Amino acid sequence: MAKTQRLAVTLFDSLTRSERPFEPLVGATVRLYTCGPTVYRSQHIGNYRTFIFEDTLRRMLLASGWRVKHVMNITDVGHLVSDADDGEDKVEREARLTGKTAWDIAKYYEKEFIEDIAALNILPPTKLVRATEHITEQRALIKILEKKGFTYRTADGIYFDTSKLANYGELAGRDQRTIQAGSRVAIGEKQNSTDFALWKFSKTAEKKRDMEWPSPWGVGFPGWHIECSAMSMKYLGKTLDIHCGGADHREIHHPNEIAQSEAATGKTFSRFWMHSAFLTVKGEKMAKSSPETNITIAILRERGFDPLDFRYFVLGTHYRKPLSFSWEALEGARTARLKLVGSLANLPKRKARADDDMKKDILAAFADNLAAPQALARLWQGIRESASRPAVLWADHLFGLNLAHVPVTSPIPLDIQALADAREAYRQSKDWQKSDEMREKLTALGWRVEDTPHGPVVHKI
């Protein structure tokens, strides 16, 4: 059987702070884990900047010929108001303030998140998994850490002892001992300021929590970080290929995920770490807790924008650079996106001379650590050079701008599309034997061509 041809991919790894060639560890499937939303309020467009970056990564890997198993979590329990492991659980607090249950709050914002990502043309994760549905796995992981001597107990929970790991905090680029020495934060019963909760006890004096579970240590709920380790390793194995999130996760959440996973397994937790820089407003990080900066998809719509205008806006800046949001800049993105949609009607409907180079260059730009602005510039150049409509729509599998307004679809690898194009060219010249050969090649690679009134469309078998 013919082998799918794969393109060289280079990615920046936040742990080693360097770009290097990427290939999955095992076979042809990339095991990708991305930290998902905390579902206590609407996600803002800063969160969606990160989710669009992760979706672009996934689309590029697919178009480069890899399969991708993508797991994302829903944080519906355990994320406390303060990263220092105190304060209320964000979901429980919202329930208290609104008179609803924590379960209702989480369900409502999870549904909204799923609708928002569809509107942004973000491919749904292969598996979307809730922290509350993996309590058994989280307790089991804490048990392993306890057995290995990495935990201790305080009055309010079970904590991970970060001083037991020589390389703790490497991802954040900090030396733990320096922090300890200069630390002015009250650490309470914690033995080191960087130690973090694995399991928190329900407070008996206060209103009963909506979400709590029994455990060998007492009734309570999991700490925020343990969910990602437990769920990613359950679905993707002990060593992931790529783990992503926003830049804030590089400081606390991801170093803690690494600490507890590697302490438990003795293996490298993830081979690549990738982080998107922040979306800022007037120089400040967009945050759910700040009413002035908290812009949601609903607010974009109220102002007359399509969520895809925001996607175009995001693609205009490299994911590692901070992106400053303004309504004027979003207007610029909308104008450009509409011009792009408008230009489609005037493009040749059949394969054109400019197609192959444009497709190759666009994929190469994305494969070079997601150089989306360069890819976008190359798309515009292709349009100026009269690339065909099918070629632009193929490229749109990478941009995800849904230029043809079709339901969310996965990208088609470049070499598969090339075979489909060749088959179409043979069909046009009525060389049926050759066109059948192309069809058979596609079938052998697991793809099928359907001839529609708008031209041939390729599907995975």
> Which of ligand AMP, Zn ion, none does 285 bind, CB closer than 5 to 8 A by kind?
ligand AMP
Cβ proximity to Zn ion: between 75 and 294 the closer is 75
> Count residues contacting Zn ion (CB under 5 A)?
2
Least Cβ distance, residue 228 to Zn ion (angstroms):
3
> Which of ligand AMP, Zn ion, none does 24 bind, CB closer than 5 to 8 A by kind?
none
Least Cβ distance, residue 221 to ligand AMP (angstroms):
16
Cβ proximity to ligand AMP: between 286 and 352 the closer is 286
Cα–Cα distance for residue pair 140/230, rounded to 1 Å: 9
> Which of Zn ion, ligand AMP, none does 228 bind, CB closer than 5 to 8 A by kind?
Zn ion
> Which of ligand AMP, Zn ion, none does 286 bind, CB closer than 5 to 8 A by kind?
ligand AMP
Cα–Cα distance for residue pair 111/102, rounded to 1 Å: 14
318-336 as b/e, with b when 16 or more CB fall inside 10 Å? bbeeebebeeeebeebbeb
Cβ proximity to ligand AMP: between 33 and 217 the closer is 33
Cβ proximity to ligand AMP: between 144 and 287 the closer is 287
Cβ proximity to ligand AMP: between 47 and 402 the closer is 47
Q: Which of 117, 228, 258, 314 binds Zn ion (CB under 5 A)?
A: 228
> Which of ligand AMP, Zn ion, none does 248 bind, CB closer than 5 to 8 A by kind?
ligand AMP
> Which of ligand AMP, Zn ion, none does 235 bind, CB closer than 5 to 8 A by kind?
none
Is residue 389 within 8 A of residue 421, CB to CB? The reply is no
Task: Please report the beta strands in 107-177, taking only residues with DSSP state E, as ranges in sequence order.
Answer: 127-130, 151-153, 157-160
Per CB under 6 A, residues contacting ligand AMP are 35, 37-38, 46-47, 49-50, 75, 245-246, 248-249, 276, 278-279, 285-286
What region does 241 belong to: left with phi over 0, alpha with psi -120 to 50, or beta? alpha
The mark string for 142-171 relative to Zn ion (x by CB under 5 A, - otherwise) is: ------------------------------
Longest dimension (CA), the chain: 81
3-state secondary structure 24-47: CCCCCEEEEEECCCECCCCCEHHH
Determine, following the binding rule CB under 5 A, whether residue 258 of this chain makes contact with Zn ion.
no
> Which of Zn ion, ligand AMP, none does 431 bind, CB closer than 5 to 8 A by kind?
none
The mark string for 17-56 relative to Zn ion (x by CB under 5 A, - otherwise) is: ------------------x---------------------
Least Cβ distance, residue 280 to ligand AMP (angstroms):
7
Least Cβ distance, residue 52 to ligand AMP (angstroms):
10
Least Cβ distance, residue 371 to ligand AMP (angstroms):
19
Cβ proximity to Zn ion: between 165 and 240 the closer is 240
Residue 251 tokens, joined: 């400081």
> Which of ligand AMP, Zn ion, none does 236 bind, CB closer than 5 to 8 A by kind?
none
Least Cβ distance, residue 14 to ligand AMP (angstroms):
12
At CB < 8 A and 24+ separation, what contacts does 373-382 make? 373/315, 373/316, 373/317, 373/318, 375/315, 375/399, 376/315, 376/316, 379/340, 380/340, 382/354, 382/355, 382/358
SS3 content of the chain, % helix, strand, coil (to 5): 45, 20, 40
Cβ proximity to ligand AMP: between 5 and 98 the closer is 98
How many angstroms from the chain centroid is the CA of residue 403? 22
Least Cβ distance, residue 75 to ligand AMP (angstroms):
6
Least Cβ distance, residue 254 to ligand AMP (angstroms):
9
Cβ proximity to ligand AMP: between 46 and 65 the closer is 46
Q: Which residue is at the shortest CB distance from ligand AMP?
A: 246
The amino acid that residue 197 corresponds to is: A
* CA within 13 Å, CB half, 319: 29
Cβ proximity to ligand AMP: between 47 and 56 the closer is 47
H/E stretch holding 274: strand 270-276
H/E stretch holding 372: helix 372-384
Instruction: Please name which of 252, 104, 48 lies closest in space to residue 91, comparing C-alpha atoms.
Output: 104
Hey, is 145 helix, strand or coil? helix
Cβ proximity to Zn ion: between 258 and 379 the closer is 258
Cβ proximity to ligand AMP: between 47 and 261 the closer is 47
> Which of ligand AMP, Zn ion, none does 50 bind, CB closer than 5 to 8 A by kind?
ligand AMP
Instruction: Please name which of 45, 30, 15, 19 lies closest in space to residue 298, comparing C-alpha atoms.
Output: 45
Is residue 167 within 8 A of residue 113, CB to CB? The reply is no
Least Cβ distance, residue 299 to ligand AMP (angstroms):
15
DSSP state for residue 275 in the 8-state scheme: E
> Which of Zn ion, ligand AMP, none does 11 bind, CB closer than 5 to 8 A by kind?
none
How many angstroms from the chain centroid is the CA of residue 378? 25
Residues that bind Zn ion (CB under 5 A): 35, 228
